[in-house]
Amino acid sequence: MGIADGKTALVVGVANEKSLAFSIAQELRAQGAAVALTYQGEVLEKRVRPLAAQIGAEVIGELDVTNDGQIAETFAALHKKYGGLDMLVHAVAFAERDDLRDRFLNVNRTNFARAMEISAYSLVALARAAEPLMEARGGGSIVTLSYIGAVRAIPNYNMMGVAKAALEACVRYLAMDLGAKGIRINALSAGPARTLSSSAIRDFFTMAHHVEERSPLKRAMKIEEVGKMGAVLLSDLSSGVTGQTVYVDVGYSIVG
Ligand code: NAD
């Protein structure tokens, strides 16, 4: 008996085996959910298909979150295949490499808008598309991925910190809109992990080392820990929790 038995999940944001989204997808499968994955473009499709096969997930199609047509197609395909949706994982973020180093002050209008669109607005777009499918199931749960740079000025995190602050605010407002329909939404704020995205942030791993040394648990976060808490937030075990940012960061965020 798993905590996600009989549930259907869409996981957006798998790029490779180190992706935090993949860790959540793996745990959801282990807990009994049917899992659908998307991929961003042909290059990543080649990585996502074998990973889906490895865990017994379905690849539902291509999804670039800046493409409204692909968002509509993804949810239409989900509706056709499963008739509804219980769980949605949004693990998508982007900022230009130049905006993840040196001075935040230098970000230009175009790059600012693009980072906000991909990293924050996309949650709203996906939640809106998921709403009728979750309503068909009498409710649902959505999880997005955030980072402590949303609430503290972390060196070099810069533009992404601003986007994560917007993302966490989106979670609160979406929780208000969706709550009456039994749809919950939370942000999981993860500790630093070595992934494709984080490698773009200058000195990110110096910071990761600092977390290991200073955190109460005195070690790095394991990506499986994101998977496990993701599954809890998506399942009925967290039925009274919505609009929150939950830290899975080996306790780093409480240290003064
Ligand atoms: P990752 O590179 O494995 O995942 C990022 C994903 O975003 C990729 O799958 C990529 O395809 C997707 N993406 C980017 N632009 C997109 C677009 N236009 N359309 C569709 N998908 C797009 O890295 P990750 O670290 O697993 O990142 C997942 C989430 O976790 C991100 O929101 C990231 O900010 C967050 N996060 C990461 C860390 C960390 O230390 N790695 C810590 C806290 C939060």
In short, whether 145's Cβ falls inside 6 Å of ligand 1 is: yes
Whether residue 92 has pLDDT greater than 90: yes
Tell which one of 144, 195, 209, 225 to mutate to probe ligand 1, the residue whose CB is within 8 A of the most ligand atoms. 195
Mean per-residue pLDDT, 223-227: 98
Q: Which of 157, 173, 247, 252 is catalytic?
A: 157
- Determine the pLDDT at residue 204: 86
- Determine the pLDDT at residue 116: 98
Alpha-carbon distance values, 140 to 124, 131, 171, 222, 249 (Å)? 15, 8, 14, 27, 25
The question of whether 82 is a catalytic residue gets the answer no
Contact 171, 230 (CB under 8 A): no
- CA dist 74 and 38 (Å) reads 8
Q: Which CATH code is given to the segment(s) 8-248? A: 3.40.50.720
The confidence band for 35, taking pLDDT boundaries of 50, 70 and 90, is: very high
- CA dist 146 and 167 (Å) reads 8
Ranges of each domain in the chain:
8-248
* Mean pLDDT (the chain, rounded): 97
Mean per-residue pLDDT, 218-233: 97
Q: How many CA atoms lie within 13 Å of 119's alpha carbon, on the beta-carbon side? A: 26
pLDDT digits 0-9 by tens, 167-219: 999 999 999 999 999 999 999 999 999 999 999 998 888 888 999 999 999 99
Cα(13) to centroid(ligand 1), Å? 6
